[in-house]
A and B are shown apart, each in its own frame.
Chain A
Amino acid sequence: MANKNKKFSRRSPVAAALVLLAGLVVSGGSYVAASAAVTNAAPKTEVDQAQVETGKKIFLANCASCHGKNAEGTDSAPTLIGVGSASVDFQVGTGRMPMQASGPQAEVKPVQFKQEDIDALAAYVSSLAPGPSTPTAEYLSRKGDATKGGELFRINCAMCHNAVGAGGALTGGKYAPSLRNTSAKHIYEAMVSGPQNMPVFSNTNLSPEQKTDIITYLQYVQENPSVGGDELGNLGPVVEGLLVWLGILGLIILFTIWLGAKSN
């Protein structure tokens, strides 16, 4: 029974080492499997140090002049410690940052970095302190309820952004931009990070599912034309009034002149 196989016996020190290794693998592997089953909105739990280093280099070259060498903020720009990867991905991904000129609001302009560089920047900034992170794909699907999303949008967002997201004015040169061409990811990130004067809609205010509903509503509105004909930018009665009083009334006046004129 014992020592049947001269090469490998149950009592050899190699066997003991193998059993120990198997035990470690099983216990470690089951822990990883268990912790991976607890999903949260943050996509990555591990930190890619190389990405963080790349991000730091890009940061020092492009952002440190206003935001400080350690992102601690200066007189020109606020601190980025705690803003999270969502904030960075939104601001840099829509072209708002690097800010072109100081003013009441950063404007959308051509994006200056490739997505991998933006991800590196986001990784660096989120490594400084925890903050809202970029959403996983499940929250950006169109599987939300557009009706519920529409109700939430009207209650929380439509007063600044207009009932279908065409944008609106605020005080002192600030404005709520149009959402007609904004991607789902950027909408989510803007909600969760509250850029500039936009309030913060944290996950305790609007849950991730509610954010998905809102994004689904906006996507529905982006893709479906208005049944009432030309939307004229969805800017409401002012634009329509302008069209009627200048355009259509002008045509009516010309027609009335023809109506009363004698034939030659």
Chain B
Amino acid sequence: MAKDPKDLAVVEAHDEHDYETGLAVIAADKLADPGIEPHRVRMTDKSVKHEKAAARQVALMFFVSILGSAFAIWAYYAFPFDGVNANSLRINTVFLGLGITLGLFGIGVGAVHWAKTLMPDAEVSEERHLTRGTEDVRAAAVEIIRLADQESGFSRRKLIRRTLYGALALFPIPAIVLFSDLGPSPKDSLRHTMWGKGKLRLTRDPDGTPIKASDVQIGSVFHVIPEGLVDLEAPDLLNEKAKAAVLLVRLDPSEITQKQRDWGYDGIVAYSKICTHVGCPVALYEQHTHHLLCPCHQSTFDLANDCAVVFGPASRPLPQLKIEVDAEGYLVAPGDFAEPVGPSFWERKA
């Protein structure tokens, strides 16, 4: 039966350069291979004037590169950084960078333009070999594997094989104890802040001077750290400050809730500065609306209503710090917050 090319056809491979379609089904109305697009002759091949112009352009790009590199070297010494003036550093850096950029870019653009305009542009196609090897090659590969097994004795020697499996299985296990050393567990450090030491005065950030109740005006905001924080060393200083930072605000006592009056002093209230969403410091205080805005995700807390969340992704109000006044008139915190500060964590009950 003569093969009808219009019917389903299966092509057989004769040698490795023929395409074998295997079990593929070739439809009768398949798209014909368009082949390579017709060759377009470049201007630089048609006209000597254009070719010379292209050569000059490439040379110009390389010349720009030379100039750029030379400029970078010269400018580094001509506009030195005097060690003090920020502007001199800015000029020095900008010129150095500009020169090096031109130096490198000139080489690249010149090379690409050379290849595009002057080098031969005939279309070339490469044959694509089959993935599957020929039968002899496949048989030779199988034979090599068989020989390797026979000579190493892997299949024969049970003792060696099984102890090898054991060694390979156990070898990665020490990584578990290695990674467990990555850091100390926080234990319950997230539940307590430095205010838990008791009877600590409220002091100004950053100098640590204590704050008198009479210093706080209606409408003002104080950034507060516990007494003694400035004497700590890193990393304790930052770790403790990250939990103990407090915002102190004075409001009219008639505008706030009873709890705020009880936990504050004469309208002065203290709240944790750490946002209950992801932990940014909430310090944008709007005096007239008495809202506290967190700049990170715009959680807004109403300071006249127990810091309830009025907008944004925070789910819990900011914890209030109970404050009172000591014998000399300074504001003091008798104890810690009533709940952990900051964002929720797994073991936190709410």
Contact = CB atoms under 8 A, between A and B. Distances in A.
B344 interface: no
A141 interface: no
Contacts, number: 87
B205 interface: yes
Interface stretch (A56-64, A196-204, A242-250): A196-204
A45 interface: no
A171 B297 CA distance: 12
B215 A198 contact: no
Interface in B115-143: 116-117, 121
Nearest to A152: B206
A224 B40 contact: no
B344 to A, nearest CB: 23
Contact of A170 (B87, B89, B293): B293
A197 B293 contact: no
B219 A204 contact: no
A159 B281 contact: yes
25 contacts: A155-B205, A159-B284, A168-B295, A170-B284, A170-B286, A170-B293, A171-B289, A171-B291, A171-B293, A171-B311, A196-B287, A197-B287, A199-B287, A200-B218, A202-B215, A204-B214, A205-B215, A205-B222, A224-B86, A262-B42, A263-B42, A263-B116, A263-B117, A264-B42, A264-B43
Contacts of B70: none
Interface stretch (A9-17, A31-39, A95-103, A225-233): A225-233
A111 interface: no
Nearest to B292: A171
Interface of A: 151-152, 155-156, 159-160, 168, 170-172, 174, 194, 196-202, 204-205, 224-229, 259, 262-264
B305 interface: no
Interface string B214-237: 111111111100000000000000
Given A151-B206, A155-B205, A227 B86 contact: yes
Contacts of B287: 194, 196-200
The 4 closest A-B pairs by CB, nearest first: A204-B215, A263-B116, A197-B286, A199-B221
B288 interface: yes
B284 A194 contact: no
B219 A262 contact: no
Interface in B172-231: 205-206, 212, 214-223
Interface string B231-269: 000000000000000000000000000000000000000
Interface string B147-169: 00000000000000000000000
A225 B86 contact: yes
A263 B86 contact: no
Contacts of B286: 170-171, 174, 197
Contacts of B288: 196-197
B307 interface: no
Nearest to B311: A171
Contact of A159 (B43, B87, B94, B295): B295
